[in-house]
Amino acid sequence: MVVRHAEKPTKANEHFGVRPGGEHDKHSLTVRGWMRAGALVNLFAPHHGEPRPGLVRPDVIYAAGHSDDHGHRPVQTVTPLAERMRLPVHTHWRAGSEDELSASLADRGDTVLVAWQHEAIPKIVRALGACAAPEEWPDDRFDVVWTLTRAGSGWRFAQVPQLLLAGDLPEPIG
């Protein structure tokens, strides 16, 4: 399963990012992004029952690693879920190492959740061999989970709308 990191500051919305301690930081999630990160907890690991159809509780969580003060958003997006599930967030790979990440994921037998930058998510999915995925992840979509399920020697691709926050769209990415 792959998600885009949650909402970030943009010039269009003029919002600022916020670190967990409340300090302004242009490399962190916006308040809405933190709301999504919190809501992802119940999407993937509800207190009662199982996740909605098409989703599974992850056994392992990966997020794009960051360098210095840049790129905290993927880790911030999955940290509340990781804390609920008492799982570490693996940040071995950074943006630009999608091929290496995909090679590592291809041989795993457990359920993995990846949080990444939207521009590179299609590359990860294609590197795994899922050719039915859209070529691009739109700049304005934070509300979809891309899923890959083993199907013989390849992968079956699907999309699950998150429907967590007001304004989330029920349509998959086209």
pLDDT in tens, 90-131: 999 988 889 999 999 988 889 999 999 999 999 999 998 877
**Domain boundaries in the chain?**
2-161
CATH topology of domain 2-161: Rossmann fold (3.40.50)
Enumerate residues 6+ apart whose C-beta is below 8 A from 52: 43, 160
In this predicted structure, the answer to whether residue 77 has a pLDDT above a threshold of 90 is yes
| Angle, helix 121-128 to helix 98-106, in steps of 10 degrees | 40
- Residue 2: is its pLDDT beyond 80? yes
In order of 46, 70, 110, 133, the CA distances from 99 in angstroms are: 32, 21, 19, 16
Angle at 133 between CA 56 and CA 113, to 5 degrees: 30
